[in-house]
Amino acid sequence: MANVIYNASKNKLLSAGINCASDTLKVALVTSTYTPNIDTHANFSDITNEVTGTGYSAGGTALTSQTVTTDTTNDRAAFDAADVTWSTSTITARGAVVYKSTGVASTSPLLCYFDFGSDQVSSAGNFTIQWNASGLVLLS
């Protein structure tokens, strides 16, 4: 499965329902048995097979240092945030879901899904997501 931006989030981005610079955005980890559906998955309550493990809390963790920038050289806008680390964790994850947290799963809109390509594992160590240097999401 490839990285995706959920269709409902495209609408939310264009109608100011998600503000990547100032909303509380979280990243949650999922197992290889989660299959994103860009047409029907709209809220965090649609996510199945979230990981469990030492050092990981359900719902994931908040993103920090969120920025939205305009790149006039490449004619695009970028959303970026600090890399995320779960310290002293024992986790096996295949992907990550970024979403706007409202505190209620059924009203927390999804933004995007990142496929790690294979299971990534930490064993009593750091599990880190290092975002692409260009940003989490690029709009061209």
Q: Give the pLDDT mean for 95-111.
A: 98
Q: Quick one: pLDDT at residue 1?
A: 61
- Nearest in space to 97 (alpha carbons), one of 19, 21, 36: 36
pTM above 0.75, yes or no: yes
For 49-70, the pLDDT digits (tens) are 999 999 999 999 999 999 999 9
Encoded tokens for 68: 């939205």
9 pLDDT tier (thresholds 50, 70, 90): very high
Q: What is the DSSP letter of 109?
A: B
Place of tokens 């290092």: 130
Rounded Cα distance, 100 and 122, in Å: 26
Q: Cα angle at 38 between 129 and 104, to 5 degrees?
A: 70
Pairing relationship of beta strands 25-30 and 4-5 according to DSSP bridges: unpaired
